[in-house]
Structure 1
Amino acid sequence: MLLKDVAYQTIKEKILEEEYPPGQFLSERTLIQELDMSKTPIKNALVRLESEGFVTVSSKQGIVINDLSIERINDIYNLRIALETFTCDALYERITPQQLGDLRENLEQTKVAAEELDVKGFASLDHDFHVDLSEIAGNKEITRILLNYHDHLLRITLRHLRKDPTRVRKFYEDHVAIVNALEAHQEESITLMRQHLQESKSMLFQ
């Protein structure tokens, strides 16, 4: 891996973990010391992070860690509700046993993460579950959108679950209910997905 990619991944991880919390000011000098790298790979990483909306780089203020606005979080969730209920609608009548098996593999891993209150592991598996559904439905554009939002969705989910790690158990139960409805070829899977995402959004704003 190139140094600029290492710098990008390291800084982004610190932002997602809120080791660099929203609103914090950083300097290139600080990053050079913390990452033990030269200026060039760090500059390249910051250009990429700025293009993705994680930071703002200013010649006067330095590097500012951006937060996701309430409006943007709300918009992302509303987009997910539209896309992922569409996915369930397209899928519930034709999902195959093999495809259900793939989803249940994810559920087994998610169950362990939920029992252990492993917020970071759960958040990653949660994202995989929703992307897997989209991939099974075969809509490449919806999958592409979910993947493009991956890091922002992960950041939202991690912040959400850190408020109350026991919420992972409710989310796990929601996933089980969605898969059970899909397995029974029930239209209810659409409603369950909508409720799951709407409740997730509501909890975040509490």
Structure 2
Amino acid sequence: MSGKESLKQRAYHAIKEKIISCEYAPGVMLNEETLRDELHVSRTPIRDALSRLEQEGLISILSKKGIVVSGLTINDINFIFEVRLLYEPYAILKYGPKIGDEVIHKFFETFSLPVNTHGEAEYYSLDDAFHVAIVEAIQNPYLLKTYDWIHNQNLRFRVMTGQFVDSRLEKTNEEHLRILIACLKHDWALAAKEMEAHLLASKNATFDLALNKNSEMQRGR
């Protein structure tokens, strides 16, 4: 990798991480000169990074207005889960054997432990890794590229909604185990069905969290 390519990658990953973590919150205007100063890189890597991030739907570059971090709405939640419900059960049903028994066993052991074994941040990382491991079994690069776009937006929602409530955390763990038990039996149809049920429950919980968050913001005005 050349030095110029390395700077482009560094700028891209740094800005992307700040957007996904909501350090750059939805709706915030970004300044190209400020980004250059923060990341200590020249204009070219910054512009290359911004172009890629716009393609991924994380920012919008508005003529004569500037760069704005893309917003996230209730409709976006619906669209994101619509894609996840198409992809993740399909990944299990079509590519389940590609996941690998060692991966399934590893997650089964992890989610068999009490939820409070892990810190909150660690559990969210494990949950994310579980879903990514399933989707990465897909052998179609076009599907994987689209899912990556959705995945980034989903991570932003988690930060914005304050992650899970405790009761949902327990249920999430139980749902993961039902998926994994079906996978261990190589009953891919059942595993896909359990994944669909899990995603629908997650969708409902995410809607509730987002709506509660909006209500709190309205009361705080």
Same fold (TM over 0.5): yes
AA in 1 matched with 2:19 = I
Mapped to 2, the partners of 1:34 and 1:138 lie a distance apart of 38
Quick one: structure 1 residues 122 and 67, their matched pair in 2 at CA, closer, same or farther if it must change by over 3 Å? farther
Contact 1:124 / 1:154 at 8 angstroms: preserved in 2?
no
Q: CA RMSD in A?
A: 3.1
Of the three residues 70, 73, 78, the one matched with 1:66 is 70
Q: Residues 45-83 of structure 1, C-alpha deviation per residue, up to 9 Å, x if partnerless? A: 111111111111234322111123332331221222133
AA in 1 matched with 2:206 = L
Quick one: structure 1 residues 161 and 99, their matched pair in 2 at CA, closer, same or farther if it must change by over 3 Å? farther
Q: Which runs of 5+ in 2 are unaligned?
A: 209-221
Quick one: structure 1 residues 29 and 143, their matched pair in 2 at CA, closer, same or farther if it must change by over 3 Å? closer
Q: CA deviation at 1:16?
A: 0.7
Q: Please state if 1:19 is matched with 2:20.
A: no
Contact 1:77 / 1:197 at 8 angstroms: preserved in 2?
yes
- TM-score, normalization: structure 1? 0.78
Q: Which residue of 2 aligns with 1:183?
A: 184
Q: CA deviation at 1:151?
A: 1.9
Q: CA deviation at 1:182?
A: 2.5
AA in 1 matched with 2:196 = R
Aligned length: 202
Q: Residues 83-106 of structure 1, C-alpha deviation per residue, up to 9 Å, x if partnerless? A: 3223344467xx59x923212213
Q: Which residue of 2 aligns with 1:130?
A: 131
Quick one: structure 1 residues 135 and 32, their matched pair in 2 at CA, closer, same or farther if it must change by over 3 Å? closer
Contact 2:22 / 2:159 at 8 angstroms: preserved in 1?
no
Contact 1:25 / 1:63 at 8 angstroms: preserved in 2?
yes
Q: Which residue of 2 aligns with 1:104?
A: 105
Q: Which residue of 2 aligns with 1:199?
A: 201
Of the three residues 27, 34, 44, the one matched with 1:40 is 44
Q: Residues 88-138 of structure 1, C-alpha deviation per residue, up to 9 Å, x if partnerless? A: 44467xx59x9232122134456698633333x444433432343345475
Q: CA deviation at 1:39?
A: 2.0
Mapped to 2, the partners of 1:45 and 1:134 lie a distance apart of 26
Mapped to 2, the partners of 1:139 and 1:159 lie a distance apart of 31
Q: Residues 133-175 of structure 1, C-alpha deviation per residue, up to 9 Å, x if partnerless? A: 3454756654454344332233234444536377444323321
Q: Which residue of 1 aligns with 2:150?
A: 149
Q: CA deviation at 1:196?
A: 0.6
2:14 counterpart SS class:
helix
Quick one: structure 1 residues 114 and 9, their matched pair in 2 at CA, closer, same or farther if it must change by over 3 Å? farther
Q: Residues 11-70 of structure 1, C-alpha deviation per residue, up to 9 Å, x if partnerless? A: 110111111100111211221222222222111111111111111123432211112333
Question: What percentage of aligned pairs have identical amino acids?
Answer: 33
Contact 1:55 / 1:64 at 8 angstroms: preserved in 2?
yes
Mapped to 1, the partners of 2:41 and 2:114 lie a distance apart of 38
Q: Please state if 1:29 is matched with 2:33.
A: yes
